[in-house]
Structure 1
């Protein structure tokens, strides 16, 4: 069985949580307080992650799709468990649609969308076929580069004379209403509640007792990174422009200009956004394939990779008719109607059932 190190789990988790969150900026609706909404989302998201890890500890060596049959029985648990591979497939399709949306607008304006989606999917197929160790090794090498690029971007923005501290003042000047709207449900579910997907690989970590510590640290790193990028967007654009910007991180990089020498760096951040989306897509694809393998009790997942790839391709190509619809569904409909039930409500109910069963087991054994 393949195994990954705790550091590789850290890099996988950070890449997964950054994902497409750095493309669209999910907290833009909070205006100049978007960075604060992200920090609050991080804190609440960590509480959800602690709930997932508690479930993992009470179901040792089992993945998320195995928790439900183990605690609820075959007839109730299996139908619920099958909801998760379907969710993984749907989100993989959404990420493909994200990439399909951003690449023609940024670095390859004349490239057909089908070619973009197919090219990315072929690389994902290679990664998933190679196994989780290869995927983990890739994130291990790429994460330092991605974080350094983001850090350099922030430094260059300060030297480009485009930062205005007045754009974020007064803090919480419009009350907590707009902030909470950004936090719930999108802020909590996107990025942090999605970490439940990684419960598909937690049993593969060499030192499972360190999963909680590493995952929490990764969530803090991801949350702070996204919050800093969001703060820079507010400092550079101001509230009115930020709320209308489709790709805030990409547009932010376009503002860098130092002595008419260091500019036009937006292609670099485009590649970084594709990298983070690729890593998240690969992990969702792996989770979908592995969860189906476990639920179908197959000895190998190789028979599932091609059918899953075809379904993911079709979803990515037909997810939405235009970019505005895609973003609206991703921010206003999808989190409330799919992520909240599957990533918050069902795991919480499972935790309650698991705790009650453990109590009754201890009582009956006395």
Structure 2
């Protein structure tokens, strides 16, 4: 582990930027139709519980990262295999988010540019940032956090003053009851983006006063859930359910609709800037977790030496995991969220927490 420390505020910023990540890009929870915002909020509450599970594990082993306490709990061989599985998984999800970034830029502005070139440009920046360590990444997050929120508040005000929002598009609430929403929560929003906060278990040992990080982390996840729910409600209010569902990037379509006083328009470039920043942090944190985990498993002291080789793996995965964006989305909705996410985000953490509880029955932990 590198000798680095980040503050509770920096942890809050990283979690918030990570959770927004690519989630602001896609029509999140649109299978719940006009109740998508409700599905996001319910998914957020489930995500808070999953985060609590991982935080309890951290409290049992506050000086260790997951690959280390997995070996303690499951034995060296089984623990190492599980830790390695998480490493591959983090790299795979980083590649998926990087693919989202590339597809967004190709759709928005660089139609003739090869996907590989676009992804490579961002990946090189991510490799550079991750080589500098978690402290530098956290300080960078502090700089961009204020900028992102300024753009978000400005965009919200402009959409309201444009008179684009039709609240009738959000009615009727719970038209088909609670079950369609529960299905979307279980298959989508519980895991993406809220369950993904499991990756921060690799960062907890670096946090100053890490044992006080629970409230800050839960507040960051809750705030991101509220932000995403508001975003989807605005998308549906402006575009309607059908157009939101058909749009690859509904927030982009919403922002392109802004027209104030017949001169303030074409503000989609601000959307692109904020999205690139959020995706940069999401991929960076996944990538950092994969590198840190690899270094622990294979006992590599110079962690930064892994950045370039593993970065190239993530880059090539991002362009080869699917032949088209439609296939990429289908794989994410039908395979990843149904099989991989439940196993890595729910089953394994609960199993590890159960084992840790029985192994530490006589040990008191302070929250």
> Structure 2 length normalisation: TM-score?
0.96
Residue 192 of structure 2 corresponds to which residue in structure 1? 190
Residue 14 of structure 1 corresponds to which residue in structure 2? 16
Residue 305 of structure 1 corresponds to which residue in structure 2? 307
Question: Paired residue for 2:90, among 73, 80, 88?
Answer: 88
Deviates further, 146-155 or 344-353: 146-155
Residue 69 of structure 1 corresponds to which residue in structure 2? 71
Question: Paired residue for 2:47, among 19, 27, 45?
Answer: 45
Indicate whether 1:140 and 2:139 are aligned.
Answer: no
Residue 296 of structure 2 corresponds to which residue in structure 1? 294
Residue 224 of structure 1 corresponds to which residue in structure 2? 226
Q: 1:82, CA displacement in angstroms?
A: 1.0
Structure 2 residue runs of 5 or longer lacking an equivalent are: none
For residues 287-310 of structure 1, the C-alpha deviation after alignment (integer angstroms, 9 at most, x for no partner) is 111100011111111221121011
For residues 296-355 of structure 1, the C-alpha deviation after alignment (integer angstroms, 9 at most, x for no partner) is 111111221121011111101112111111111112211121111011100101111111
Aligned equivalents of 2:233, 2:242: Cα separation in 1: 14
Aligned equivalents of 1:270, 1:180: Cα separation in 2: 32
Residue 257 of structure 2 corresponds to which residue in structure 1? 255
For residues 55-89 of structure 1, the C-alpha deviation after alignment (integer angstroms, 9 at most, x for no partner) is 11011211122221111111221111111110111
Question: Paired residue for 1:344, among 332, 343, 346?
Answer: 346
For residues 105-128 of structure 1, the C-alpha deviation after alignment (integer angstroms, 9 at most, x for no partner) is 012223222211111011011101
Question: Paired residue for 1:34, among 22, 33, 36?
Answer: 36
Residue 333 of structure 1 corresponds to which residue in structure 2? 335
2:231 is paired with a residue of what secondary structure?
helix
Aligned equivalents of 2:271, 2:152: Cα separation in 1: 8
Q: 1:236, CA displacement in angstroms?
A: 0.9
Question: Paired residue for 1:240, among 239, 242, 246?
Answer: 242
Equivalent pairs, count: 361
For residues 78-107 of structure 1, the C-alpha deviation after alignment (integer angstroms, 9 at most, x for no partner) is 111111110111011111111111101012
**Contact in 2 for aligned 1:11/1:140 (Cα 8 Å):** yes
Aligned equivalents of 1:163, 1:192: Cα separation in 2: 27
Indicate whether 1:24 and 2:35 are aligned.
Answer: no
Aligned equivalents of 1:292, 1:83: Cα separation in 2: 10
Q: 1:178, CA displacement in angstroms?
A: 2.4
**Contact in 2 for aligned 1:107/1:267 (Cα 8 Å):** no
Q: 1:177, CA displacement in angstroms?
A: 2.7
Residue 216 of structure 2 corresponds to which residue in structure 1? 214
Residue 118 of structure 1 corresponds to which residue in structure 2? 120
Aligned equivalents of 1:144, 1:183: Cα separation in 2: 30
Aligned equivalents of 2:353, 2:121: Cα separation in 1: 40
Residue 172 of structure 1 corresponds to which residue in structure 2? 174
Question: Paired residue for 1:4, among 3, 6, 15?
Answer: 6
**Contact in 2 for aligned 1:26/1:182 (Cα 8 Å):** no
Aligned equivalents of 2:360, 2:101: Cα separation in 1: 45
**Contact in 1 for aligned 2:166/2:238 (Cα 8 Å):** yes
**Contact in 1 for aligned 2:27/2:247 (Cα 8 Å):** no
For residues 4-47 of structure 1, the C-alpha deviation after alignment (integer angstroms, 9 at most, x for no partner) is 11110010010111111111132111111001111111111101
Aligned equivalents of 1:312, 1:206: Cα separation in 2: 30
2:126 is paired with a residue of what secondary structure?
helix
Structure 1 residue runs of 5 or longer lacking an equivalent are: none
